[in-house]
Structure 1
Amino acid sequence: MVGRVCGAGLVVGVLVAGLGACTGGESGAGQGRKTGKPVATACADGTFAWSHLTARDRLTGVSAPERLGKGGGRLQNPMRRVYTPSASVRADGPAPSPAEILFSLGKKAGEIDSDARTLAEAGETWPFTDVRQPAPELDTDRITPRAAGAYFQYAGVKEVAADFRYRCPDGRTVSGHARNWTVDFAVLTDCAVRPDSPVAREAARRSCEPV
């Protein structure tokens, strides 16, 4: 956690939380209806190839601005949600479990540090591998700026996504797309501060126009 700092005319609060490793069971693949017919399954010893990898900040919440006079004061406006991040795994045929796919994506994106070839071999799980990982709650802290200004808060996450192709030793392949979020953050700033990133510009547009 990065501590909060205050200063007039600057971004005055930043909270960043990473997602570390933890123990627990992995998410399994979805179960289909029983039809009595043979069901194709994915091989367990295939290899992933990833393409079109993206990692970007997404705005998840923003508050209305509050004008404070000399000496600042306690903020009251809550953040409203504008986007709900969620894990997603899609495939066009029999594929490994969503957790295995997200494990491979996490390694590709540098979000998971593991020498294991598969999640099963790793012997541990990460929040990033959980397809049911809930969206982070919006920051409910009420920071007290000590200077005059038109303040607002915003929150966001880092979202990672990519296309994959999974190839079995016998030549069978399946393609798909996977996505998850990794880091959540909350920022308190002044409408007078020039936004320095796409997510900050979107937050300012939603909150500061007009003040």
Structure 2
Amino acid sequence: MRGTVRRACAAGLVIGVLVTGPTACTGEPEGDGSARETGRARAKACAKGTFTWSHVTTRDRLTGVSEPERLGAGGGALQNPMRRVYTPSPSVRAGGPAPSAAEVLFSLGKKTGEIDSDARTLAEAGGDTWAFTDVRLPAPELDDDRVTPGAAGDFVQYAGVREVAADFRYACPDGRTVSGHARTWTVDFGGLIDCGERPDSPPAREAAQRSCEQAVPSSPSGA
């Protein structure tokens, strides 16, 4: 059987089968948690500056994988738990006084389409907050649901997140600028691979390389 993937809701985001769509959540904004963004640094950050984004990347990262489990004819429920191989952690780094991490991530969210808002800044968003702007967003738990393949084979379960990262430049009205880098994750997902089949995504290939007895070759396109 081909590797299968399921998508899950994560951190206040509404997840589609293949595409994600964040929704606004009401509540008080969380603190940004950035070591560089002390109260003193924020006080020096200029207001009404402009963000410019570059090197925007989106990639799926493997976060957990199980050991292979052999099932006979008719399949059955898998029992092996997943072990964590990567912990996603939102972060904002700046080379000088910059807006709060939440404001930086709000701008990145608008740039990438993860946030749909007419507000110029998070502070002007009328009290709405988004999981995308929370630099303290915890890594998703590894799913304890047991998948039940309906066929024989050597199966591996895996989990991952979609991670977004980019460089930014914040220009003040008086000509001062500060540069930095931001990273966060948008959704978590899980999948199942049969070690006897060719994996069809980067996380699935990495899971196969980590857990299957023999590494499964990549497709010629490298997709």
* Structure 2: runs of 5 or more not aligned: 14-22, 216-223
Q: Does 1:80 align with 2:72?
A: no
The letter of the residue matching 1:64 is E
Q: Which moved more, 1:116-125 or 1:81-90?
A: 116-125
The letter of the residue matching 2:64 is G
Match of 1:151 in 2: 155
Quick one: distance in 2 between partners of 1:24 and 1:86? 21
Quick one: distance in 1 between partners of 2:109 and 2:29? 14
Match of 2:8 in 1: 16
How many angstroms does 1:12 deviate by?
A: 4.2
For residue 105 of structure 1, the aligned residue among 108, 114, 118 is 108
How many angstroms does 1:159 deviate by?
A: 0.3
Quick one: distance in 1 between partners of 2:81 and 2:42? 50
8 Å CA contact 1:27, 1:98 repeated in 2: no
Match of 1:164 in 2: 168
Q: CA 1:74 to 1:42, structure 2 compared with 1: closer, same or farther past 3 Å?
A: same
8 Å CA contact 2:3, 2:200 repeated in 1: no
Correspondences of 1:111-130 after superposition (within 5 Å): 111-123=114-126, 124-130=128-134
How many angstroms does 1:41 deviate by?
A: 1.0
Match of 2:72 in 1: 69
8 Å CA contact 1:27, 1:97 repeated in 2: no
Q: CA 1:13 to 1:94, structure 2 compared with 1: closer, same or farther past 3 Å?
A: closer
- CA deviation profile, 1:164-192 (whole Å, cap 9, x unmatched): 00011011111100000001100122112
Normalised by the length of structure 1, the TM-score is 0.88
How many angstroms does 1:17 deviate by?
A: 2.7
Q: CA 1:151 to 1:27, structure 2 compared with 1: closer, same or farther past 3 Å?
A: same
Match of 1:57 in 2: 60
Q: CA 1:45 to 1:86, structure 2 compared with 1: closer, same or farther past 3 Å?
A: same
Match of 1:132 in 2: 136
The letter of the residue matching 1:89 is V
Match of 2:16 in 1: none
Normalised by the length of structure 2, the TM-score is 0.84
Quick one: distance in 2 between partners of 1:81 and 1:186? 13
Q: Which moved more, 1:22-31 or 1:134-143?
A: 22-31
- CA deviation profile, 1:64-112 (whole Å, cap 9, x unmatched): 1100001111211000000000100000111101000000011111111
How many angstroms does 1:193 deviate by?
A: 2.0
Runs of 4+ in structure 1 deviating by more than 6 angstroms, as ranges, are: none
How many angstroms does 1:128 deviate by?
A: 0.6
For residue 175 of structure 1, the aligned residue among 164, 172, 179 is 179
Match of 2:202 in 1: 198
The letter of the residue matching 2:130 is W
- CA deviation profile, 1:7-28 (whole Å, cap 9, x unmatched): xx12345233362321122234
Query: What is the RMSD computed on CA atoms of the aligned residues?
Result: 2.0
3-state secondary structure, aligned to 2:26:
coil
Q: CA 1:117 to 1:86, structure 2 compared with 1: closer, same or farther past 3 Å?
A: same
The letter of the residue matching 1:119 is L
* Structure 1: runs of 5 or more not aligned: 1-8
Q: CA 1:32 to 1:120, structure 2 compared with 1: closer, same or farther past 3 Å?
A: closer
The letter of the residue matching 1:10 is R
